[in-house]
Amino acid sequence: MSIVIRAAGKRDLGLILNFIRGLAEYEKLAHECIATEEALSATLFGPKPAAEVLIAEIDEKPVGFSLFFTSYSTFLAKPGIWLEDLFVLPEYRGRGAGKALLARLAALVRERDWGRLEWVVLDWNQPAIDFYRSLGAEPQEEWTTWRITGEPLARMAEGASAAD
pLDDT tens per residue across span 77-98: 999 999 999 999 999 999 999 9
76 touches 115 (CB < 8 A):
yes
Contact call for residues 120 and 91 (beta carbons, < 8 A): no
**Residue 164: per-residue pLDDT:** 56
pLDDT tier at 136, thresholds 50, 70, 90:
very high
The residue ranges of every structural domain in the chain are 3-163
Contacts of 76 (CB under 8 A, 6+ apart): 115, 116
- Catalytic annotation, pick one of 26, 72, 92, 132: 132
Average pLDDT (130-134) is 94
| 130 CB neighbour count, 10 Å cutoff | 9
Rounded CA-CA distance 31/7 in Å is 28
CA dist., res. 156 & res. 161, Å (int): 9
- Using left for φ > 0, alpha for ψ between -120 and 50, and beta otherwise, residue 28 falls in left
- DSSP lists the bridge partners of residue 80 as 71
Tens-place pLDDT, residues 10-25: 999 999 999 999 999 9
Domain spanning 3-163: CATH 3.40.630.30? yes
Q: What is the mean pLDDT of residues 138-161?
A: 89
132 catalytically annotated: yes
CA distances from 150 to 104, 122, 158 (A): 34, 21, 13
Q: Are 15 and 62 in contact (CB under 8 A)?
A: yes
Q: How far apart are CA 34 and CA 155, in angstroms?
A: 22
